[in-house]
Structure 1
Amino acid sequence: MDYPMSPAALPASLLADRRMAAALTRRDIGAVFQLAHDEAGISFNRLSEATAIKAERVGKLARGDGTVTTLQSLEKVCDGLRIPGSDLGLAARPWESSTPAYQRSDGDGDDPMKRRDVLRGALAAGLAGSGLAALTTTRHDIDAALAADATTADLGYWESTAERYGYGYHGQAPADVLSDLLADVDGMKPLLALPQSVKSRTQMCHVTGQMAGMVAIVLHDLGQHREAHGWFHTAARAAEESGDRLLHSWVLGREAMVPLNYGAPQAAAKLAEKARHLAGKQPSAAAALASAVASRAYAIGGHTDKALTFVADVETMSERLTPQQQADTWFGYPEQKHHVHLSQALTLLGETGRAYETQARALELSRAPSLMTRALIAIDEATCRAHDGDREQAARLAAQAYGELPDSYRTGLTRTRALALFRTLPRQTHGIDQLADALAMTG
Structure 2
Amino acid sequence: MVEGIFVDPQQISDMKRSLGRGLAGWRRRRGLTQDDVARRVHSTRSTVANVESGRQVVDRVFWVQCDSLLQASGELITGYDEYRFLEVRHKEEKAEAARQARWGAVLDHQAIVEASAADRGQDRHTSLVSAVSGPANGLRRDRRSTSSAEVGFPAVMDEVGGLRRSLHEALSMGAVTAAGLDEWERIVAHHGRATRDHSTGTLLREIAGDLGELTELIGRSPSASALRRLTGMAAQMSGLMCLVLCRIDDRTAASQWARTARLAAVEADDPVTRSWVLAQEAHVYYYSADFRETVNLARHAQDVAGPEASVGTVLAAAIEARALAAMGKREETRAALGHAEGLLSRLEGDSLSASAFGYNEAQLRFHEGNAYTRLRVVDAALAAQDRALELCSPGDYTDWALTRLDRAICLTRMGQASDAVESLAETIGSLDGAKRQGIIAERARIALDGLPPTQRSSSTARDLRAALADVR
Contact map agreement 2:196 2:398 (CA 8 A) in 1 = no
**Equivalent residue number for residue 15 of structure 2:** none
**Equivalent residue number for residue 227 of structure 2:** 201
Q: Which amino acid aligns with 1:393?
A: D
Q: Are 2:387 and 1:361 equivalent residues in the alignment?
A: yes
Contact map agreement 1:149 1:195 (CA 8 A) in 2 = no
Secondary structure at 1:152's aligned position in 2? coil
Which one of 377, 381, 384 corresponds to residue 410 of structure 2?
Answer: 384
Q: Are 2:368 and 1:342 equivalent residues in the alignment?
A: yes
Contact map agreement 1:283 1:321 (CA 8 A) in 2 = yes
Deviation for aligned residue 1:313: 1.0
Q: Are 2:239 and 1:216 equivalent residues in the alignment?
A: no
Larger radius of gyration: 2
**Per-residue deviation, residues 168-205 of structure 1 (Å, max 9, x unmatched):** 34643210121111011111111112243221111111
- The whole-number CA distance in structure 2 between the counterparts of 1:193 and 1:395 is 54
Q: Which amino acid aligns with 1:400?
A: E
Contact map agreement 1:212 1:232 (CA 8 A) in 2 = yes
**Per-residue deviation, residues 200-220 of structure 1 (Å, max 9, x unmatched):** 111111000011111111111
Q: Which amino acid aligns with 1:116?
A: R
Contact map agreement 2:310 2:351 (CA 8 A) in 1 = yes
Q: More displaced, 256-265 or 240-249?
A: 256-265
Which one of 145, 155, 163 corresponds to residue 138 of structure 1?
Answer: 163
Deviation for aligned residue 1:121: 5.3
Matches within 5 A, 1:18-37: none
**Equivalent residue number for residue 352 of structure 2:** 326
Residues 436 and 243 of structure 1, relative CA distance in 2, 3 Å threshold: farther
Contact map agreement 1:280 1:287 (CA 8 A) in 2 = no
Q: Are 2:422 and 1:405 equivalent residues in the alignment?
A: no
Deviation for aligned residue 1:164: 0.9
- The whole-number CA distance in structure 2 between the counterparts of 1:276 and 1:237 is 17
- The whole-number CA distance in structure 2 between the counterparts of 1:210 and 1:244 is 11
Q: Are 2:176 and 1:151 equivalent residues in the alignment?
A: yes
- The whole-number CA distance in structure 1 between the counterparts of 2:268 and 2:139 is 27
Gaps of 5+ in 1: 1-100
**Equivalent residue number for residue 46 of structure 1:** none
Gaps of 5+ in 2: 1-127
Q: Which amino acid aligns with 2:236?
A: Q
Which one of 144, 169, 173 corresponds to residue 117 of structure 1?
Answer: 144
Contact map agreement 1:392 1:431 (CA 8 A) in 2 = no
**Per-residue deviation, residues 197-244 of structure 1 (Å, max 9, x unmatched):** 221111111000011111111111112111111111111110111111
Contact map agreement 1:340 1:359 (CA 8 A) in 2 = yes
Contact map agreement 1:422 1:432 (CA 8 A) in 2 = no
**Equivalent residue number for residue 61 of structure 1:** none
Instruction: Indicate the RMSD between aligned Cα atoms, in angstroms.
Output: 2.7
Secondary structure at 1:263's aligned position in 2? coil
Identity %: 26
**Equivalent residue number for residue 14 of structure 1:** none
**Per-residue deviation, residues 280-307 of structure 1 (Å, max 9, x unmatched):** 2322221111110000001011122221
- The whole-number CA distance in structure 2 between the counterparts of 1:437 and 1:266 is 36
Q: More displaced, 290-299 or 366-375?
A: 366-375
Residues 421 and 391 of structure 1, relative CA distance in 2, 3 Å threshold: same
Contact map agreement 1:253 1:286 (CA 8 A) in 2 = yes
Q: Are 2:273 and 1:247 equivalent residues in the alignment?
A: yes
Matches within 5 A, 1:38-437: 114-118=141-145, 120=146, 126-128=152-154, 130-154=155-179, 155-169=181-195, 171-429=197-455, 432-437=458-463
Contact map agreement 2:150 2:434 (CA 8 A) in 1 = no
Residues 144 and 285 of structure 1, relative CA distance in 2, 3 Å threshold: same
Contact map agreement 1:415 1:439 (CA 8 A) in 2 = no
Q: TM-score, normalised by structure 2?
A: 0.66
Higher-helix-fraction structure: 2
- The whole-number CA distance in structure 2 between the counterparts of 1:320 and 1:359 is 23
